[in-house]
Amino acid sequence: MGYRVVVAGATGNVGREMVNILAEREFPADEIAVLASSRSTGDEIEYGDTGRMLKVRNIEHFDPEGWDIALFAIGSEATKVYAPKFAAAGCTVIDNSSLYRMDPDVPLIVPEVNADAIDGYRAKNIIANPNCSTAQMVVALKPLHDAATIKRVVVATYQSVSGAGKVGMDELFEQSRNIFVGDPAEAKKFTKQIAFNVIPHIDSFLDDGSTKEEWKMVVETKKILDPKIKVTATCVRVPVFVGHSEALNIEFENEISAEDAKRILREAPGVLLIDKHEDGGYVTPIESAGEDATFVSRVREDPTVENGLSLWCVSDNLRKGAALNAVQIAELLGRRHLQKAG
């Protein structure tokens, strides 16, 4: 007997990817319900490349009683309304919004990094998916932390417009087209023109001058990996459709060479090391799109600090940064706790 699975927000970028990945990975689901707001009710979504069509239902009228797992990609405001209802009905919520990430009663999970933390999910019957930029970073950091204990991380992100949803992708496309034909490139979703530009501003500003996106990377890394790690982040939106990139500078308590790090990363779950000292011997966002791995390149020692390394990290933010991680959490939940399939 398999699971009864809900995907809420199934018509958005992340929700559609969740549906595709459930099909790709042959998740043991006997039944799939795809939910969205009233304006999408009645639309149809294909279940991966299976030819099976799923009719979109209205989340407002959906009864979660008897369903096992709900993957949420509906934003914090809607999650605040619906997640407690689903959880109270016995349907475990795996939430992609930021609402529950720092709740001490809600596990924040990246399966390759802190799988054991999922055991605390019963407190609220909710599990949180981390921020997209945090997820790929901690996958790369975890094996290195285990080997040499990370003291401090300095990260600069290069985040694609898909992180801002379909409206972000549409704005990059429209601005690029307008510039080529000589029309104005008006900023709507973003604070400045994104086409042929970079914007050092993601999410709202906080009192200390950092942004909420930068704050998320700091606090989520501490919760997932180790509260003693010091993290500072600068998050930048770049004119790339899919795939987040990160330049990481890492300081360790113990000695670790670049060769040691490469050997460790080659064996690390979820990581694919591609690091050749030649033209093109590294991964860029275009190669990461549609892939499950967190790619690491440009691993080198930093001679300006004791026990320092620098590296380049790239991943498909719609997959490992969101949808894939949520499905991996569902698989982990099934193996460790629900055990209905297999």
User: 56 - beta bridge partners?
Assistant: 34
CB within 8 Å of 71: residues ≥ 6 apart: 5, 6, 7, 8, 15, 18, 94, 96, 323, 326, 327, 330
Q: Is 91 a catalytic residue?
A: no
Residue 79's SS3 state is: helix
Catalytic hit among 91, 132, 235, 313 = 132
Cβ contact 127:121 at 8 Å: yes
Is 163 annotated as belonging to a binding site? yes
CA dihedral (51, 57, 62, 64) in degrees, to 10, reads: 20
Is 193 annotated as belonging to a binding site? no
**d(C-alpha 296, C-alpha 314), whole Å:** 7
Is 143 annotated as belonging to a binding site? no
Angle at 9 between CA 35 and CA 116, to 5 degrees: 105
Is 184 annotated as belonging to a binding site? yes
Is 211 annotated as belonging to a binding site? no
Q: Please give the distance of CA 133 from its chain centroid, rounded to a whole number.
A: 6
How far is the CA of 30 from the CAs of 2, 3, 233, 342, in angstroms?
A: 5, 5, 42, 12
Is 14 annotated as belonging to a binding site? yes
Is 42 annotated as belonging to a binding site? no
Q: Is 277 a catalytic residue?
A: no
CB within 8 Å of 90: residues ≥ 6 apart: 64, 65, 66, 125
Cβ contact 95:131 at 8 Å: no
Is 159 annotated as belonging to a binding site? yes
Catalytic hit among 91, 145, 235, 244 = 244
Instruction: Of 246, 61, 65, 250, give the one whose Cα is nearest residue 152.
Output: 250
Is 152 annotated as belonging to a binding site? no
- Size of the chain in residues: 342
Is 162 annotated as belonging to a binding site? yes
Is 303 annotated as belonging to a binding site? no
List binding-site positions for phosphate. Answer: 101
List binding-site positions for substrate. Answer: 159, 237
List binding-site positions. Answer: 11-14, 39-40, 101, 159, 162-163, 184, 237, 317
Which positions are annotated as active-site residues?
A: 132, 244
